[in-house]
Every structure is written in C-alpha cells, then in structure tokens.
Amino acid sequence: MHAPLLPCPRCAASLGPFAQCLVCAREAFAFDAAIRLGVYEGLAREAVLRIKAGWNEPLAETLGQCWAQAQPCPEPIDALVPIPLHWTRRLRRGYNQAEALARGLASGWRLPMQSRWLWRIRATPEQKAFRRNARRDNLKDSFVVTRPRDLQGQRILLVDDVMTSGATCHEASRVLKAAGASRVIAAVLVRAND
C-alpha cells in the first residue's frame, strides 16, 4: 500500500517521494499558494464531470459545503472570488460551477463571496484543447477586475473546480494582484496531473 501523495503548498500538485515539486521547478505562478480538496480521479473526477455537465448547481454548492467541513480555511481571507465563465459558456451550462462551489465554501467558512469582482471578457476555447505551454497564451487578457477600489489590500481565495496546468488561476491571480489584491490563494476542488 502506497502512502498518499501530499499536495505542494505552492501549486497543490502531488509531491513526489522526495517532497520536491516538479511543477513549481518549471513554472512561476501569480498566485501565492494553492490548496485542493483532492486529486482528479475516481469519485472526485466523476463529481467534477457532473458539475461541468450543466444544471447541477445544487450538487456544486453541496460539494463546496462538504469541502468547507472537510478542510479549514487555510489562512485569514477577506473574500472568496470564483473563476468566472464567459457569459456564452455560462448560458450554455446554465450556471457557473466555480461560483456554486465558492458559495458553498463561503457559507461553511462564514466568509463573504464576491462573484462580481472578476469578469471574463473573452470567450476562450476550452483549455483541454491546448498543450501546457499554450494554455497561458489562450487566457491572456481574458479577465478584468470590475471594482479595483474594493480589491485594495484584500486577501483573496480564488475558487475553481479543477486545476491542471494552473494557467487559469495564474491569469486570474495576475489580474487580481495588478488591481491591488495583497495575496491570492488558489483553491481548487481537485488537482489534475497534466
């Protein structure tokens, strides 16, 4: 029986047997740290696929509440900000799964959620269509902060359902920090190995 692989505190990737993160050795991220509830396999993978399929908002919010019960908030946080969907994708899916997860987390941790601080202004192709090195280019300039004055000095927990390369959380964090956030922690339900 193998010991479970611990997550890297910087990017939430599974650490190897020597506790050195190979992802962080080759990538620089705009977020300051990352947390995950689990890895993208088994039932966790099934849950993510279901909440991405559309019209599963109650399931996503419940997963967020379960996450809050299973894992304490990692540090003092001023607000939770979900990764936004472009309006066209949100319309097709019927809701934003990251926002529903964040709502469940915010409820469980008794923290405010700010779903309108970050907007996705470009409809980008899905990240899975790109290789690792092209994912950041795909997302470049796709997010904007709508209320920079409210963001000044804030410690943000940036919520998403799954992280693979970290490109989405990186670009959103870069924009949040450029607008004045003092710290951004990426919080993902699951971390995939890419």
CATH number of the domain encompassing residue 168: 3.40.50.2020
Look at residue 2 and tell me if it is in a domain.
Answer: no
Look at residue 15 and tell me if it is in a domain.
Answer: no
In 116-191, where do the E strands start and end? 118-120, 143-145, 155-163, 183-191
Look at residue 76 and tell me if it is in a domain.
Answer: yes
Per-residue burial over 34-45, b if 16 or more Cβ lie within 10 Å, else e, is: bbbbbbbeeebe
The pTM of the whole model exceeds 0.85: yes
pLDDT in tens, 14-57: 886 666 787 887 888 999 999 999 999 999 999 999 998 878 99
Mean residue pLDDT of the chain comes to 89
Q: Which of 126, 121, 58 has the alpha carbon at shortest distance from 84? A: 121
| SS3 category, 46 | helix
Rounded Cα–Cα distance for residues 171 and 81 (Å): 14
Range of the domain at 37: 27-191
Rounded Cα–Cα distance for residues 73 and 157 (Å): 9
The CA dihedral of 25, 27, 31, 33, to the nearest 10 degrees, is -20
Radius of gyration of the chain from its Cα atoms, rounded to whole angstroms: 16
Which pLDDT score, from 0 to 100, does residue 2 have? Answer: 45
Stronger pLDDT, 184 or 122, i.e. the higher one: 184
Look at residue 126 and tell me if it is in a domain.
Answer: yes
C-beta atoms surrounding 106 within 10 Å: 23
Per-residue burial over 172-185, b if 16 or more Cβ lie within 10 Å, else e, is: bbbbbbebebebbb
Look at residue 16 and tell me if it is in a domain.
Answer: no
Tell me the mean pLDDT in the region 85-99: 92
